[in-house]
Amino acid sequence: MKYIDEYRDKALVLALAGEIKKVSSRPVKLMEVCGGHTMSIQKFGIPYLLPDTIQLISGPGCPVCVTSNSFIDKAIAYSRRDDVIITTYGDLIRVPGSSSSLEREKANGADVRIVYSILDALEIAKHNRRKKIVFLGIGFETTAPSSAAGIIKAQMAGIRNFYVYSAHKVMPPAMEALIDEGVQINGYIGPGHVSTITGEGIYLDIPKKFGLGVVISGFEPVDLMQAILMLVKQFENNDPKVEIQYTRAVKPEGNIKAQQMLDEVFEPGDDWWRGLGILKNSGLKIRGEYADYDSEKNIAVEVEPLKEPKGCICGDILRGVKKPKECKLFARTCTPSNPVGSCMVSSEGTCQAYYLYNR
Amino acid sequence: MINKPEFILLGHGSGGKLSHELIDSLFANYFDNPVLRQQSDSALLETESAHFAFTTDSFVVDPLFFPGGNIGTLAIAGTVNDLAVSGAVPQYLSAGFIIEEGLRYNDLKTIVETMADEARKAGVIIVTGDTKVVDKGKCDKLFINTSGVGKIAEKHTGIGSGRDIKPGDKIIINGSIGDHGMAVMAARNDLNIAADIRSDCAALNHLIKEALQVSNGIKFMRDATRGGLGTVLSEIVKEKHFGIQISEENLMINKSVRGMCELLGFDPLYVANEGKVVMVVDPDDAGKIMETLKENPFGKEASVIGEITEDHQGMAWLDTVVGGKRIIDMLSGQQLPRIC
């Protein structure tokens, strides 16, 4: 299959593994920021191909995982209103909030619908004019532009019963916060899909300020092995910089049109990340001009008091300071079928990746 | 000749005149056989066997029709396969229908015809049945339950539990994985995907019988339905003193199934099949079992995909296409609802 088989070529992967082994002389810790990378690394068994000098650490790049319980609680509160239909990407419905989940509310009669695109949510809005359609806006620079496009489209089409509940976030503040907090890493495997939108510009501060390299990587085994090799070379030569491995998708300047759309609808604001707390300008808030489409400004709900699950170390895992196996709940009380923390729920979550592929 | 109704009405499940018309014109007509013809409250069966296998399964697939089959194909093949993989020879089936008021009569007719046809091909007869009609909105178009019995030879009674499995045994599957689950997904309108994928649903009892005839070394069989191949493999090793090693390179996945899985983020290992049997066999017999399977249309793409190992007890491991390793766990949660 084109664009897949050539990036899963065993001979090429093994050749890259040999090259990495040759180049790597000192222990190095590399963080894959993106949850998609974590999944791919575990799914293809990449750690078994790397020399002992290289340690891969998972980072905070799983949108569902870093989302706060209070966001889920508020979504649940919306879903309990008779006049609301919740539309969401699938992963989110199973995330436990303080005392319930959207999945449980759905079983209880709430109208919660899984969509693959915000455009499906707009269609639902068109066909249910008497209901308020709330789309749960989750994700980084990758999905935020489509939420922006949805809002712009709703405005153009005169759809007035459509709202976005935004927990959209941007990546760089989290990457910088980790280093500020003293998480020991030597380089970043940079997120591939985020970078298709943003380009390389958002990472340029990282080598300058912190002396760490960033290699923007694709998601297939050959991509990841090549990105690891590039980072190891940078580390060995003490030459940290931003490089793009994923050139077939990422342009240095990114997707300008998507950036403009993002800018048109959203503005930066402080936001809360699981494991990292409140990070300045790390969230995307809907601008005043589009306030009519902001669920928070239009639909009043009472939200239950916040409760975090006991014993869950998702926060430490998202900072990369602990591995899933160090959690007392992992694979015992916390499993993908009965998740306690968000890292076990999401198909990009570190705990789920380890549970499924590397227990 | 009775006038054929356009839709199923509540009255068709009343037990009265309409019910009888429906049963006579449709079920008794298409499923006709001497046992059913007795029209008693229970089917009276004869058998010479000392051991029986008995199984039941309900079918709630959405949509009712998909490329490669319909709910009727599944209702027969699913129960026939459950019997056959236990080492039994499927003989008698029951069929219970729960119909939503308003189902198109012609749709029901097509499904009943398909069931009769599948049963004939599999060499089983439908000897008893039931029909209920529920109010609109109380079930989704049509649910079917089938139960089945089959005789089982003394020497095959261990196949169901896999008690004779040991390290060195080979693991065989009779073809590509993931076809059924993705065919049903593609047939659902809400995804707007046009994919050229056909369900693999088929009764495998003849294929299995042929394999059992050439070898006494078949130690375990299971049809890899919901939960897919991955779930079957982890069931085989669960709480056992052996492990499984599978080679990803030897798994066959059709191109469009792979493409759709990539697109939707599914792992083909966990996507349902309805015409695939996993066998654990004595290594000395693997060659002749493979030859026999390959002669049957439902086994022509059979391959040895791995083996039972002494290492990593209780775990199934996969050698990935790129030379890495990972575990294969049971499917957690619900990957795809209502695919069978």
Where is A223: in which H helix or E strand? Answer: helix A221-236
pLDDT band at B334 (very low <50, low <70, confident <90, very high): low
Tens-place pLDDT, residues B118-151: 999 999 999 999 999 999 999 999 999 999 999 9
A12, part of any domain: yes
Together in a domain, A84 and A149: yes
Together in a domain, A288 and A331: no
Together in a domain, A165 and A185: no
Coil, strand or helix at A67: coil
A95 is in which domain, residue-wise? Answer: 68-170+273-298
Could you give the ipTM of this predicted complex? Answer: 0.76
Q: Do B44 and B35 touch, CB atoms closer than 8 A? A: yes
A268, part of any domain: no
**Rounded mean pLDDT of B38-61?**
90
A55, part of any domain: yes
Q: Do A151 and A166 touch, CB atoms closer than 8 A? A: no
Question: Could you tell me which chain A residue has the CA closest to the CA of B191?
Answer: A116
> Which of B185 and B209 is assigned the larger pLDDT?
B209
Together in a domain, A96 and A126: yes
Q: Do B45 and B127 touch, CB atoms closer than 8 A? A: yes
Tokens linked to B271 = 């996507």
Tens-place pLDDT, residues B64-95: 999 999 999 999 999 999 999 999 999 999 99
For A53, which DSSP code?
A: T
In chain A, which residues have their Cβ closer than 8 Å to the Cβ of B265?
A: 347
The torsion angles phi and psi of A175, rounded to 5 degrees, stand at: -65, -35
Q: Does B335 score more than 70 pLDDT? A: no
Residues written for chain B = 340
| Rounded Cα gap, residues B339 and B60, in angstroms | 7
CATH dotted code for B10-156 = 3.30.1330.10
pLDDT band at B166 (very low <50, low <70, confident <90, very high): very high
| Rounded Cα gap, residues B226 and B78, in angstroms | 11
For residue B102, which amino acid is it?
A: G
Cα dist. B1→B15, B22, B141, B150 in Å?
A: 20, 12, 26, 36
Question: Could you tell me which chain A residue has the CA closest to the CA of B263?
Answer: A116
Question: Could you tell me which chain B residue has the CA closest to the CA of A48?
Answer: B324
Coil, strand or helix at A323: coil
A267, part of any domain: no
Place of tokens 């912190």: A210
- Total domains in chain A come to 3
**Rounded mean pLDDT of B57-62?**
96
A266, part of any domain: no
Task: Give which of A1, A221, A43 is closest to B256, Cα–Cα.
Answer: A1
Q: Do B272 and B225 touch, CB atoms closer than 8 A? A: yes
Considering only CB atoms, which residues of chain A are within 8 Å of chain B? Answer: 1, 4, 8-10, 13-14, 17, 42-49, 94, 116, 120, 221-222, 335-337, 347, 355-359
Place of tokens 């590399």: A30
Q: Does B204 score more than 90 pLDDT? A: yes
Together in a domain, A223 and A237: yes
Segments of chain A with pLDDT less than 50:
none
Domain boundaries, chain B: 10-156, 170-328
State the maximum Cα–Cα separation within chain A, in Å, rounded to a whole number: 65
Together in a domain, A162 and A84: yes
A99, part of any domain: yes
In chain B, which residues have their Cβ closer than 8 Å to the Cβ of A46?
A: 322, 324
Is A94's CB within 8 Å of B258's CB?
no
**Rounded mean pLDDT of B149-164?**
94
Residue B193, chain A, CB below 8 Å: the answer is no
Question: Could you tell me which chain A residue has the CA closest to the CA of B267?
Answer: A43
Task: Give which of A321, A247, A326, A238 is closest to A26, Cα–Cα.
Answer: A238
Together in a domain, A294 and A236: no
In chain A, which residues have their Cβ closer than 8 Å to the Cβ of B329?
A: 355-357, 359
Together in a domain, A277 and A150: yes
Together in a domain, A283 and A153: yes
State whether CATH 3.40.50.300 applies to domain B170-328: no
| Rounded Cα gap, residues A259 and A272, in angstroms | 23
A264, part of any domain: no
Together in a domain, A59 and A117: no
Tens-place pLDDT, residues B219-266: 999 999 989 999 999 999 999 999 999 999 999 999 999 999 988 888
pLDDT band at B1 (very low <50, low <70, confident <90, very high): very low
| Rounded Cα gap, residues B318 and B335, in angstroms | 20
Place of tokens 């449709």: B26
Place of tokens 């040895």: B304
pLDDT band at B61 (very low <50, low <70, confident <90, very high): very high
In chain A, which residues have their Cβ closer than 8 Å to the Cβ of B318?
A: 45
Together in a domain, A78 and A46: no
Together in a domain, A73 and A153: yes
pLDDT of B36 reads: 92
